[in-house]
Amino acid sequence: MKRRTIQSPVSTLLTLALFGLLAMGACKSKKKVAPAPAPAPVEQPAPTPPPAAPKPSAEEVAVGKLENYFNSIAQSTNVDAANRTINEALGMFSNPQTPVLIVIHEENGIKDYDEPTTIEKYLHYLKDTKKNLNFISDIRLDGNGRVTELELRRKK
């Protein structure tokens, strides 16, 4: 038969301490972990606004207004309203006899024009036909911003 030896109290104590440490190491700590400090905000340059659209030239403004007048006259259902619009449009020209040239053909930079007309006759033509078949391809203004010459082309 084997004989049991009595273990020393020191080795028993060490064994218990080892188990205790292992048990405590396996348990999670009940202390709350402090959150890491938030990083300092990085200052970013203010976004640059998109570049402003360039202001339209006097010619572009005049073309826009005239195209609106032409469409309004051609689509007018009332003769009096068309005549009022014609009078407004004539105010943009240096005089009612301002030449209107209509390009009918262009080849190698050489333009062929329909018979020249005046702005007054052209506006009444729009009123009578109720069709705006042309667009403004060139415009000339005087120093006061009034139209002195108008070149039109057929819409495609």
CATH of 58-154, one of 1.10.10, 3.30.1490, 3.10.450, 3.30.70: 3.10.450
Confidence band of 21 (pLDDT split at 50, 70, 90): low
Mean pLDDT for 96-102 is: 95
- Is residue 102 a contact partner of residue 113, using CB atoms and an 8 Å limit? yes
Chain-centroid distance of CA 10 in Å reads: 86
* Whole-number pLDDT of residue 89: 95
Closest CA to 132 of 89, 92, 97, 98: 89
Q: What is the C-alpha to C-alpha distance for residues 130 and 72, in angstroms, rounded to an integer? A: 10
Closest CA to 138 of 54, 66, 71: 66
pLDDT tens across 34-67, in order? 666 766 677 777 777 777 778 888 899 999 999 9
DSSP class of residue 92 equals T
Higher pLDDT, 26 or 68: 68
What pTM, to 2 d.p., does this model score? 0.65
* Whole-number pLDDT of residue 22: 66
